[in-house]
Amino acid sequence: MFFRLLRLILVLALVVSAPLSFEAAAQGVGQAPAGLVADQQKIIQGLTTKTDNFEKQIQQDGVDDGSLVDIRLQLEELSRQSLNSALAFRTRLGEINSRLEQLGPPPAAGQPAEPDIVSAEREGLTSEKAEINAVIAQAQTLSIRISGLIDQIGNMRSALFRNLLTKRYVLSDALSPQVFSDARDEFDNFYKAVSSWLSFAIKFKFQAILAATFVALGLALVLLVGGRRLFGRVFEADSTNEDPSYLSRLSVAFWSTLLPTLAVAAFLGSTIFFFNYYNVLRGDIGLFLNALATVIGVVFCVNRLTNAALEPRLPNWRLIPVETGPARWLVRLTTAMAVVISFNTFLSVVNDKMGSPLSLTIARSFVATIIVGVILILMAMLRPFKARDGSWRPWPAWLRYTSLGLGLFTIIAALLGYIGLALFVSLQVVVTGTALITAYIGFLSAQAIGEEGAFANTSVGRWLSANSSYEDTALDQLGLVVSIAINVMIVLVFLPLILLMWGFQPGDIEAWAYKLATGINIGSVTISVTGILSGIVVFVIGYFLTRWFQGWLDGSVMARGKVDTGVRNSIRLAVGYAGVALAALVGISAAGIDLSSLALVAGALSLGIGFGLQNVVSNFVSGLILLAERPFKVGDWIVAGDVSGTVKKISVRATEIETFQRQSVILPNSNLINNAVGNWTHRNKLGRIDIKVGVAYGSDVKQVHAVLLDIARSHPLVLKNPEPFVLFSNFGAAALEFEIRVFLADVMNGNVVQNDVRFAVLERFDDQHIEIPSTPRAAVEARTHVAWPTDDDKIEADFAEQAEAKAQAEAEAKRQAKSGRKTRKPDPD
C-alpha cells in the first residue's frame, strides 16, 4: 500500500513539473540567442557606417591610385567581417531547424489541437528564425554592396592608368623660357628645405644620426662579408682562371649582382628605419630620402648587373661574347640610362611634394625620355662583335631592331606630347629589363646547378664532399634541391618587383597573396596554398612518426621479446600501412579538403575497379589476407608452382620470393591465395630429406642396409629422434634401389646433408667393394649414304667394263670344261 501511494505521488509530480519544464525550455529557446542577434546587428551597423565613409572617400580620392588601393584592402576586410557575422548563426539555425523537424507541422483543420506549450515553442522558434534570417540578409546585402565598391575601384584605377598613358600635353608651354625660372625657384625651395632639416638634425639629432648610420653600415657589412665568406668563388670572378665553366660564369654574374645589391638595400633600408625610429626625419625629408634610396639602389643594381654580365676587365668571364671596347660602352650607356630614369623619378617626388608647376614636370619628363631614346639608339648602333677577318659585326637583327624601335618610339611619343607613355616605356626598359635579365641569369644558374654532377663541381659541393660523408648521388640530389630553392627565391623576389614596376601597388600584391594563402574558389572547390602546405607538413610529420614507431616497435619491443622474424615483419607492415593511411587522412583534413566531397571520386573509382582494377584489388585483398592469416612469413621456404625459394618481402600487392639461384620472383598475392602453396617451414624448420641409392644385383643387401644406416646416423646434422631410416624401395631394371630418409632440425640445410651423405656413400661402398651399377648405352653405328652419281658417262663405262670381265670369265670356264681339266686348289701354307 505504501509503495502504491509513493508511485502515485511521483506520477503527479512529473505531470505537474512537465509543463513548467516545457515552458522553461521554450523560454530558453526564445531567449538564448537574443544577445547574439543584438550583437551581430550592432556589428553590421558599424560595418555599414564604415562602408558609407569609404564610399565618400572614394569620390574624394578618385585620382590617387595608392589611396584607392588602401581603400580596397579595407573594404575587403569589411566584406570578410560581414560574412563572418552571417556565419555566426550557422549553429543556431541548425538547432532551430532540427527542433522544428522534431515538433512537426501544426495540425491541420479538423485534427485534434496540439498542446499550447508546443504551439508556443513552434511560434518562438519561427520568430527567432525570421529574426536571424533578417540579420543574415543585411550581412549579405552589405557584402554585395562592398563587392560593388571594390569593382568600382578597379574600374577607376584602370581609367587612371589609361589616362596616364594616353594623355597628351602641349609642349610649347612646357618648353618656354619660363620653365628655367620655375626650375631655379624649385631648386631654391628644395635647398632651403634640406638645409633647414640638416641644421636641425645636426644640432639636436646628431648622435641619433651617427648611431643609425653606423648600425645600418654594420648590417650591410655583415651581409656583404658574410656573403663573401659563405659563397667564396661563387661571389667573385677568379682572374687566374683562364677557362671558367659556363656554370661558374652564371653563378658569379648572378650572386655578384644579387648579394651586393642586397647589402646596399639593407644599408639604405635600415638607415631610413632607424632615422624614423629616432624621429630624425620629418614628412617631406622622409619622402625625399625614400626616393633617393630607391634611386641609389636601382643605379647600383643596373651597374652591378652590366659589369657582371659583360666583365670589361675579364674577357673570359663574360656571359655575352662581346669585345672589350663595346663592353665598356655598354656598361656606360646602361648605367647612364639608369641614372637618367632614376633621377627623373626622384625629381618627380620632389615636384609632387613641393607643388611644382605642371610645365616643369612635363619639361623634366620630356628631357629624360629623349635622353633614354637616344641611348637606346646608340646601343642598337654598336658593333660589339669581331669577325675572323677583323671586321666589326652588329647585334643580331631582332635585338638591334628591338632596341632601335624602342628608342624611336620613346622619342616620337615624347615629341608628340605623350609624355606619360614615353616615360612609362623608358622606365620599363631600365627597371623591368634589369629585373628580367637578372632573373633569367638566375634561372640559367639554377638549371645548370640542377644538371647531373654539376653541383659537386661547385665550391659548395666540393666543400661538402671534403668535409662531410655525402656521396656523389647525395650531392646530385642536393643539387636538385638547391636548383628548386633558387627558382623559388627568384620568383618570390622578382615577380613582385616587376608587378610594382608595371603600375601595381603593394596593396595589390598583398591582396593577391592573401587570396592565394586563404583560398581561391574555382567553382565549388576552394584551393588554399596555406591549407595545402599545412596538409603536406602534417602528412610528412605523420609519415616520419609512423616510421619512427615502426623502428621502435620492431627494434625495442619485438626484438627483445624474441618474436619470430615473420611475425615482426607482418606487424611492422600492418603498423606502417595503418600509420600512413591515418597520416594521409589527417593531412587531407588539415588541407581543408572535405572528405565527403570525394564521394563522386569514390563512385568513379568503384566503377573503374569493377572493370579495369579488379586484379589490383584482388591482389590487395589477398595481401591483407596473407598478412592476417600468415600461411607463410618472411624467411619461409615455399614452393608455389614452378617457383621454389625463400620469402623476402610480403606487400599488399605482391610477394617477393628469392630462389636458390638468387633470382627475385615477384608473385601476385592472388596466385598465392587461389593456388596450392607448399611451405617447408610453416610451423617450424623441422623436415625430412630423402636420398636414393642404387646397388648392383648380387650385392649383399643386408650389408648395404647396415652401411647406409650407419652413414645416416653418423652425420652431425641428422636428428636422433625421429631416427634415420633406410628403405629397400624397389627392384630396379638395372639396380637394387634403396632410400635414405633422415630428419633435420633445419630443413634449409638439406642440400649440405645430401652432399655429405653422397660423398660418404661413395667412400664406404668403395671400401666394402659394393658396386653402384650404371645403365649401359646402346652402340649406334653411323650409316653412310652413297652419294648420288654426278657423272653418267663414267658410270656407263664402268658398267661395260664389269660386264666384259664377267663375259671373259664365263668363256674361260666353258673352255676349261671342254678340255676336261679340273681347277687345282691352292696348297695350304
Which residue from 425, 288, 417 is spatially nearest to 358, judged by alpha carbons? 417
- What's residue 83's pLDDT? 77
Please list the residues that pair with 765 across neighbouring strands: none
DSSP letter string, 61-124: STT-HHHHHHHHHHHHHHHHHHHHHHHTTHHHHHHHHHHHHHH-SPPPTTSPPPPHHHHHHHHH
Residues of the chain with pLDDT under 70: 1-35, 61-66, 157-158, 160-162, 164-165, 173-175, 223-236, 238, 247, 458-460, 469-470, 498, 500-531, 561, 563-567, 570, 591-614, 775-797, 799, 816-829
Distance CA 186, CA 827 (A): 161
Which residue from 130, 153, 133, 152 is spatially nearest to 141, judged by alpha carbons? 133
Taken in order 424, 428, 430, 435, the sign of the CA dihedral is positive
Q: Report the side by side order of strands in the sheet with 687-695.
A: 687-695, 736-744, 725-731
Do 491 and 281 touch, CB atoms closer than 8 A?
Answer: no
Please list the residues that pair with 693 across neighbouring strands: 738
Whole-angstrom CA distances from 780 to 776, 777, 787 are 13, 9, 21
Do 530 and 517 touch, CB atoms closer than 8 A?
Answer: yes
Which residue from 762, 683, 684, 751 is spatially nearest to 717, judged by alpha carbons? 751
Do 40 and 82 touch, CB atoms closer than 8 A?
Answer: no
Do 707 and 768 touch, CB atoms closer than 8 A?
Answer: yes
- What's residue 324's pLDDT? 85
SS (H, E, C) 493-536: HHHHHHHHHCCCCHHHHHHHHHHHHHCEEECCEEECHHHHHHHH
Q: Which residues contact 285 (CB under 8 A, 6 or more apart)?
A: 193, 194, 197
Q: How many CB atoms lie within 10 A of CB 323?
A: 17
Q: Which residues contact 14 (CB under 8 A, 6 or more apart)?
A: none
- For the chain, counts of helices (H) and of strands (E): 26, 12
- What's residue 579's pLDDT? 85
Distance CA 731, CA 738 (A): 9
Q: Which residue has the cell 614452393?
A: 639
Taken in order 586, 588, 590, 592, the sign of the CA dihedral is negative
Beta strands in 663-789 (DSSP E): 664-668, 678-679, 687-695, 725-731, 736-744
Note the residue count of the chain: 829
Q: How many CB atoms lie within 10 A of CB 309?
A: 25
Distance CA 752, CA 756 (A): 6
* Cα dihedral 795/797/798/802 (nearest 10): 140
- What's residue 17's pLDDT? 39
- What's residue 602's pLDDT? 59
DSSP letter string, 161-224: HHHHHH----HHHHTSTHHHHHHHHHHHHHHHHHHHHHHHHHHHSHHHHHHHHHHHHHHHHHHH
DSSP letter string, 537-584: HHHHHHHHHHHHHHHHIIIIIITTTT--HHHHHHHHHHHHHHHHHHHH
Do 655 and 641 touch, CB atoms closer than 8 A?
Answer: no
The H or E element containing residue 624 is helix 614-629
Distance CA 706, CA 693 (A): 13
Taken in order 582, 587, 592, 593, the sign of the CA dihedral is negative
Q: Which residues contact 688 (CB under 8 A, 6 or more apart)?
A: 741, 742, 743, 744, 747
Whole-angstrom CA distances from 270 to 64, 278, 297, 465, 493 are 28, 12, 13, 38, 19
**pTM for the model:** 0.50
Do 292 and 346 touch, CB atoms closer than 8 A?
Answer: yes
First-to-last C-alpha distance (Å) of the chain: 157
Do 777 and 761 touch, CB atoms closer than 8 A?
Answer: no
Distance CA 689, CA 749 (A): 10
Distance CA 225, CA 667 (A): 61
Q: Which residues contact 139 (CB under 8 A, 6 or more apart)?
A: 40, 44, 82, 83, 85, 86
